[in-house]
């Protein structure tokens, strides 16, 4: 019996109760139109009982992995049917590769089976993971507080020479993006307020809206979000890469605390720069509102400035500065925590940077809501 499919074909010879010989002919490479394996299986099943299978490859012109895959499937099928297979008639290279495939079996559990878990199991797993994450975060926070106490006592190993570079990276190098975002936020606040205030002829109160909004909320919030995406992710990527290169393990081996040497200077640099960035963001946001109020709403220059000065008191700026300092701690801790928790691969470093940004922004929003409620209660 012969099956032709392009240049590749096989011929099966069998006598009842004897060995079945499969003779391969033609080009058995993967790009060729190979015969159907299912057809060969049906033919073998129709030949039973059969004492075993042999091969004849004298007329085989060429072969590659397509031929090997075909033979491997055949051998697995015959093994499941307890049919002996003799490979002596195959080319020497084919026999070696088949022997190698047989010598290195598939690792148990290598194939992931799709398992459907119930919602209760998913809820339990998420709860356990959240509790473990909370414990890790509290332990990390405790280590940072301990390192800060050692720094105040003068016993911490602090990289003073690198601290200036970190301050520059967290401060001066962030000014361009903070300027752009803050001006645009001020413009947006002014436009949104003007749409409603023009209905009552109260365009001058755009100055109040922009000034208070930037001083109490948006200045600190936007600066923190920018730093979470810019600096927090950078902290996580830096520490994650150090985990991959085993530099953090090397510091611990030398008796140097990674928290004191890596985390503490980054946190202090960001905490020191965030209030300054907040003040700068406030100025840029008020300037954005000024552009809309004077340039588009035709408000008098001096009147807009006086209105802003009367609306925004010093305590409003202080609220924004306190928020910005707290946001700085959150961004630094989120970035360093995810970096220290990073795995030892490129994918893990990317996931750590992403997680740092998400964690930082979420906790910034939560902290802002809590501080706002507290300020309302105490009347600030």
pLDDT digits (tens, 9 = 90+) for 289-309: 999 888 888 888 889 899 998
Q: Residue 91 burial (CB < 10 Å; 0-12/13-18/19+)?
A: middle
* pLDDT tens-digit map of 63-109: 888 888 888 888 888 888 788 888 888 888 888 887 887 766 656 55
Q: Residue 173 burial (CB < 10 Å; 0-12/13-18/19+)?
A: exposed
Question: DSSP readout, 83-130?
Answer: --B--TTS-HHHHHHHHHHHHSPPPTT-SPPP----HHHHHHHHHHHH
- For residue 109, being part of any structural domain is answered with no
Same domain, residue pair 51 and 184: no
- For residue 235, being part of any structural domain is answered with yes
Which of 52, 86, 103 represents a domain boundary (last residue)?
103
Please determine, for residue 220, whether its predicted confidence score (pLDDT) is greater than 90: yes
Mean pLDDT over residues 155-181, rounded? Answer: 90
Please determine, for residue 31, whether its predicted confidence score (pLDDT) is greater than 80: no
**182 compared with 63, residue with greater pLDDT:** 182
Same domain, residue pair 211 and 80: no
Same domain, residue pair 277 and 160: yes
- Which of the residue ranges 39-43, 152-156, 189-193 has the most confident prediction, judged by mean pLDDT? 189-193
Number of domains in the chain: 2
Same domain, residue pair 142 and 94: no
Please determine, for residue 4, whether its predicted confidence score (pLDDT) is greater than 60: no
Same domain, residue pair 143 and 88: no
Predicted TM-score (pTM) of the model is 0.68
Rounded Cα distance, 109 and 113, in Å: 9
Average pLDDT of the chain to the nearest whole number = 86
Same domain, residue pair 245 and 300: yes
What is the dihedral sign for C-alpha 174, 215, 331, 146?
A: positive
Structure tokens that stand for 366 in this block: 């939560």
Please determine, for residue 10, whether its predicted confidence score (pLDDT) is greater than 90: no
Same domain, residue pair 88 and 145: no
Q: Residue 316 burial (CB < 10 Å; 0-12/13-18/19+)?
A: buried
9: domain range?
A: 2-103
- For residue 299, being part of any structural domain is answered with yes
Please determine, for residue 51, whether its predicted confidence score (pLDDT) is greater than 80: no
- For residue 114, being part of any structural domain is answered with no
- For residue 19, being part of any structural domain is answered with yes
Kindly report whether the peptide bond that precedes residue 49 is cis, defined as omega within 30 degrees of 0.
Answer: yes
Residue 320 in contact with residue 221, Cβ under 8 Å?
no
What CATH code is carried by the domain that includes residue 32?
3.30.750.24
Same domain, residue pair 190 and 288: yes
Same domain, residue pair 50 and 157: no
Same domain, residue pair 159 and 96: no
Least confident of 48-52, 89-93, 209-213, 359-363: 48-52
Q: What is the DSSP letter of 85?
A: B
**Is the backbone of residue 109 left (phi > 0), alpha (psi -120 to 50) or beta?**
left
- For residue 128, being part of any structural domain is answered with no
Rounded Cα distance, 73 and 79, in Å: 10
- For residue 349, being part of any structural domain is answered with yes
**116 compared with 111, residue with greater pLDDT:** 116
Which of 82, 103, 124 represents a domain boundary (last residue)?
103
Same domain, residue pair 262 and 311: yes
Number of other CB atoms surrounding residue 339 within 10 Å: 29
């Amino acid at each position: 019996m012969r099956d032709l499919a392009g240049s590749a074909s096989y011929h099966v010879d069998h006598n009842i109760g004897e060995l079945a010989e499969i003779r391969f002919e033609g080009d058995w490479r993967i790009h060729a139109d190979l015969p159907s394996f299912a057809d060969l299986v049906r033919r073998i099943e129709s030949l039973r009982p059969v004492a075993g299978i042999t091969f004849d490859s004298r007329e085989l012109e060429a072969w590659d992995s397509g031929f090997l895959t075909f033979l491997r499937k055949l051998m697995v099928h015959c093994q499941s049917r307890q049919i002996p297979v003799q490979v002596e008639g195959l080319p020497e290279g084919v026999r070696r590769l088949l022997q190698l495939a047989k010598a290195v079996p598939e690792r148990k559990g290598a194939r992931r089976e799709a398992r459907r878990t119930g919602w209760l199991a998913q809820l339990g797993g998420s709860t356990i993971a959240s509790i473990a994450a909370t414990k890790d975060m509290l332990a990390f926070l405790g280590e940072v507080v301990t390192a800060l106490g050692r720094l105040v006592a003068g016993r911490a190993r602090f990289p003073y020479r690198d601290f200036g570079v970190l301050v520059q990276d967290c401060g001066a190098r962030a000014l361009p993006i903070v300027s752009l975002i803050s001006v645009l936020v001020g413009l947006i606040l002014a436009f949104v307020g003007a749409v409603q205030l023009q209905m009552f002829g109260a365009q001058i109160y755009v100055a109040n809206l922009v000034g208070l909004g930037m001083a109490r909320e948006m200045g600190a919030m936007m600066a923190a979000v920018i730093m979470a995406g810019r600096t927090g992710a950078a902290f996580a990527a830096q520490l994650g890469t150090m985990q991959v290169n085993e530099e953090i393990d090397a510091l611990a081996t030398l008796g140097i605390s990674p928290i004191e040497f890596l985390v503490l200077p980054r946190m202090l640099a960001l905490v020191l720069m965030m209030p300054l960035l907040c003040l700068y963001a406030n100025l840029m946001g008020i300037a954005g509102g000024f552009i809309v109020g004077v340039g588009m709403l035709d408000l008098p220059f001096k009147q807009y400035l006086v209105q802003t000065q009367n609306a925004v008191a010093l305590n409003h700026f202080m609220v924004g500065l306190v928020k910005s300092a707290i946001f700085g701690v959150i961004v630094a801790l989120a970035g360093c925590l995810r970096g220290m928790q990073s795995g030892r691969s490129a994918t893990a470093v990317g996931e750590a940077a992403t997680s740092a940004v998400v964690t930082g922004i979420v906790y910034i929003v939560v902290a802002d809501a809590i501080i706002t409620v507290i300020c309302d209660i105490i009347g600030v």
